[in-house]
Structures are given as C-alpha cells and as structure tokens.
Structure 1
Amino acid sequence: MTLLTDYEILGVSYLVDVDRDMLLLVEDPEIGLSFKNMHYTDTHYLLKYNRLSPVDGDNSKVNPGQIVDVPIPHKVILNPVAMARKYGVTVEALKGRTDYDVMVDQDLLNQRINGKLPEISIAGSDFIYDIKLNALLPKDKIGGNLMIGPDVYLSEDEMHYTFLYNPVKREIVHYDRNMVEFSAGVFMAKIPNQLRLDPYGMIEKLGLHVKDTLVKFPIQKSMTAQLTPLSELYFFKALVLKNRERLIVSDKWISNRTSEKNKTTKKVKKKNKGNRL
C-alpha cells in the first residue's frame, strides 16, 4: 500500500506519493503536480506554480504574474518512510542524504561514464543501445542492427518507442497499412525512448543538467521490451477488419463489373450475328 504524507503549497493541500512521483491534490488524488515537471537542485525542487491552477498544465500561455517560484523539499524530507521502503534502506540511512544520493545508482553511473553502454532484452535476445548510431546492436553479434528509423514510432506520451518485431528473425518489420491478416510471429514491441534508454548519453548529447536529468530518469540496471501480439491490440484488429471489409467490397465491385461486361459482350455478339441466309 502506498504511504502518503501531507504537504501544503500556498494554502492548497497535497499528498506526497513517492511511488507515483507526484504531489496529489487532496481534493482529487487522481491529479496533481509531477516531480518530473520541477527542476532539481541540491537543496530542493523548484516548482513553477500557477496560483490559479493547483495541478500540472501548460504555463506558456499563462499570465506571468500568475506564476510563482516555490521551493519543494526533497522527497527524503517530505516522505522518508516511503522513500526508505522504495529504495530498500532504513529511514535512519536517509539522514543527511539528498534525493540524488538515494535515487541514482553511483556504480551504474560510473560504469556508463567509463563507456559501458545500456542493454535491453527483446524477446530473450540482448541488445546494446548505441546513442551515436541510434541503434540497438545484438550483443551476440548475430544478425543486423535494429535502427531507430522510419519503422519505429514515438508513443503519444513520447516516453516509448514502438515497432513491429519478428523475434525469430530478430528484425523490425515494416508496417503495412493494407494488412488483411496478422503476420505470423510478428509482435508490437515497446521500449523506452532515448532519454530513458540512455539518460547519460542524452546528457552528453544535449548538454542537459546532470542531476536534474538523472533524478528524473535514473540509469536502469536492466531493461526489457514489452511484446504484445497484434491480435490483442485494438488498432490492428480494427485495421485488419477495415481492410478485409474494403477488400470484400472491392471484390464485389470487380465481380459486378465483370458480370456486366460479360452481359454487354453477349448482347453485342447477338447483334453482330445478322440474318441467316
């Protein structure tokens, strides 16, 4: 069960939910403020708070006078019990430590700094992600690279890549908009986006703030792709059904046209027979 503590911002009450990484509005715990939308510093998180809206939103169109900077304590201060449970330490061990100290695995970070590239398992096969090539390289060097290219799509929340994948051939499959059946052995694969696959690589590539990025997207010890049969996904079930219906209509149209053409041909032949001698 999630352990929650209370925190107040300018008279508005929130629940500190470490598991969801959010400050949840007490009046409606389904919404609130995400720590990922705050800027991390060594002493606090900096929140751009909209005084007229107590939840996350697009502040770009808001009157600047409505926005105030609010320092939010680290989660080890706000909810030490939940943080201790989540990261497998005692509450006593959290004293004097920052969120960065607790949330970021320094061994994994040092390994990445020294050149160890992140790995992800896809259907039992291990791949190495090379951010410079923007590709997944087979660890056993059998088969080709999986390029993050035209057949790989960014999810709506921009947190994942999705692509059609054949685990036997270990290759990305081209998406056919006219498909009328589910290809045997092809699955929808879902993997983290670049920032979650290789946060340190993105820090180097884009010059991002090191601690702010790693607190929000810690380096993972292991990652596994999610594979789903196409027949279980509504989008592909609807697509196949639509294409089959279109094909049936097309076949009927062709059949009717052929039948009409044959009838016309017969009439013409009769007319061309002329009178018998």
Structure 2
Amino acid sequence: MKRELPTYHIQGTDFLVDVDKFELREKYDVHNIIPFALMKDSEAGYEFGYCPQSKNIDYEWLINLVEPNTFIPQLKDLDPLGMSIKYNLPLEEIKKMSDFQIMVDQDAFHKRVNQNKLPTLDIHGNKFYVNIKSDQLISQRFPFSEGISLTEIKSYYDQESSMYVIPFNTNTHQFMPLDLDKITEVPKDTIIVSFPFESELDRIGWNLQAGLNYMQNLKFKGLKCHHTACVIPWQNTVIPKIIIKNLEKQKLIAVISEAGKNKILKSKNNGLKR
C-alpha cells in the first residue's frame, strides 16, 4: 500500500514532503514543485525566498536580490519514516543523525576532503585518478603518461544518457579517437566504454573548480570515491552502421572511378580510329 506523505505548511499552502524525489509538492497542485536542491543548505535545515503569489521559490531570491524568508527543517525531521525506508536505517538512528550524515557517504567524504584522495575510475581493469583541476584522467599504473584529456573527449559526451561514450585502446590504455568518415572495420584492441560526466565522477572537485561551496548538492546527488566504466558491445553502437555506410561509399566511388577510366579509354580509342 502506498504510504501517505507528510505535509509541511508554508504561508497558507500545504506541501507534500517527498524524500524520494527530494522535493516539496503542493498538495492540491502536484505540478507545483519546489526542489530541495534549489534551497540554501544549512546545518539545521534549508532556507529560501518564497513567493506567496506563485507559491514557489522567489526568482529574486535565486538571483540574490532578496534575503531568504522561509526556513524548512531537515528531511529527517520532516519525514523520519521516509528517510528510514529510503536509507535503510532504523528510526532511532535517523533521529540521532543529521541529513548530511544520512545522505552522504561519510567514508567517501572523509577520503576526498580530509585525506585529499582523488576519486578513481576503472576502465577495463585500468584504474585512473579523476583530476578535474588538471583536466585529466590520470593512469594509476602510468602516472607520467598522457592519460585521458577530459577536454579531448568532450565531443563524446552523450546527452541522452548523460554519460561519456568513448573508444578505449586496451593496449595503450588511452582514448582512441575514431575517424567516422573513413572507418571500414572495427578497430583492433579497441572497445567502447561509458562513464559519468566530471560533475558526477568528482562532485567536490567539480564544485571547487566552478567556484561553488564544495559541499553543494552532495546530499541530493550523492558522493562516490570509485566508479567503474561500462563496456558497450560494438553491435550496440552506431559504428557497425557507419562501417556499412562507408563500405558502400567506397564501392560507389570505385564504380564511378572505373566508369570514368572506361570513358577516358573509350574516348582515346575513338580518337585513334579517326
């Protein structure tokens, strides 16, 4: 049976507290949503500028023209049962912890902030350090090699999946760009792998590089100290179709070239007959 969500009252309007989606949703207008990720995080809860007319976040507050006028308690106080279910923790533990302690992997946070350890990415058994500051994935085994430039793979970002999808050479352990206009066979020792964008690979490093608070959105987007790239079979990519298209183009060029040669030869022969 679906659980009835708790409500929170803001200036004459009731909002449902949805800890699964991290949002306040107007009880009698489910399309009116206030995401917690847009609120200002504080130790005791969340604050933001509220507009009674729109029953939503005040745009002027978003662009720093007005001060926050609304305070929201922590999610663990708004919906302790929902937080207990979501994070698989006993209710008694939930009550003793803060939202930050509940929602953020404390081991990953300690390693990244207190020990200054960079997150890692495993690509086909090869471990890389994610270094956003130097714009690189740095090989653990070959730290002085070129590694993988994050700028170089920007065009391989897939908007639909929000992932990088890149060719990776299993011998050189490096990004292997493909010439899609000329490729006529599956490259030897090359696989296709996918992994998250930098903001997910190293949320703290991304925040710092962007000039944001290093803790921004950690609670709502999660924090990991290690990621593993997924290998995508060639047949599940567009490459086989591109190869077929290029082979057909080669055949057509060959036919046209041969026809041209025959035409020239015929013209020469006709000239000799005269």
With structure 2 as the length reference, what TM-score do the two structures score? 0.74
Distance 1:11 1:40 in 2: 22
Partner of 2:205: 201
Distance of aligned partners of 1:2 and 1:240 in 2 relative to their CA distance in 1, 3 Å threshold:
farther
Give the root-mean-square deviation of aligned CA atoms. 4.0
Distance 1:238 1:55 in 2: 48
Deviation track 1:34-91 (CA, whole Å, cap 9, x = no partner) reads 54444433344456779899999xx79xxxxxxx976555432444334324433212
Deviation at 1:27, TM superposition (A): 9.7
Partner of 1:148: 150
Q: Does 1:240 align with 2:227?
A: no
Distance 1:161 1:71 in 2: 38
Letter in 1 for 2:81: V
Partner of 1:99: 99
Deviation at 1:185, TM superposition (A): 3.7
8, 16, 19: which one aligns with 2:18: 16
Distance 2:240 2:26 in 1: 38
Conserved 8 A contact 2:105-2:223: yes
Partner of 2:140: 139
With structure 1 as the length reference, what TM-score do the two structures score? 0.73
Q: Which runs of 5+ in 2 are unaligned?
A: 61-67
Q: Does 1:250 align with 2:253?
A: yes
Letter in 1 for 2:157: L
Distance 1:27 1:252 in 2: 68
254, 262, 265: which one aligns with 1:262: 265
1:48-197 equivalence runs, <5 A = 73-113=73-113, 114-141=115-142, 144=145, 145-152=147-154, 153-156=156-159, 159-178=162-181, 179-197=183-201
Q: Does 1:227 align with 2:228?
A: no
Deviation at 1:174, TM superposition (A): 1.0
Q: 2:166 aligns to what SS in structure 1? A: strand
Conserved 8 A contact 2:207-2:216: no
Conserved 8 A contact 2:19-2:75: no
Among all aligned residue pairs of Structure 1 and Structure 2, give the percentage whose two residues are the same amino acid.
21
Conserved 8 A contact 1:14-1:24: yes
Distance of aligned partners of 1:41 and 1:171 in 2 relative to their CA distance in 1, 3 Å threshold:
same
Q: Which runs of 5+ in 1 are unaligned?
A: 61-67, 272-277
Letter in 2 for 1:122: I
Partner of 1:65: none
Partner of 1:274: none
Distance of aligned partners of 1:232 and 1:15 in 2 relative to their CA distance in 1, 3 Å threshold:
farther
Letter in 1 for 2:148: L
Distance 1:143 1:210 in 2: 28
Deviation at 1:207, TM superposition (A): 2.9
Q: Does 1:40 align with 2:37?
A: no
Deviation at 1:173, TM superposition (A): 0.5
Distance 1:188 1:180 in 2: 16
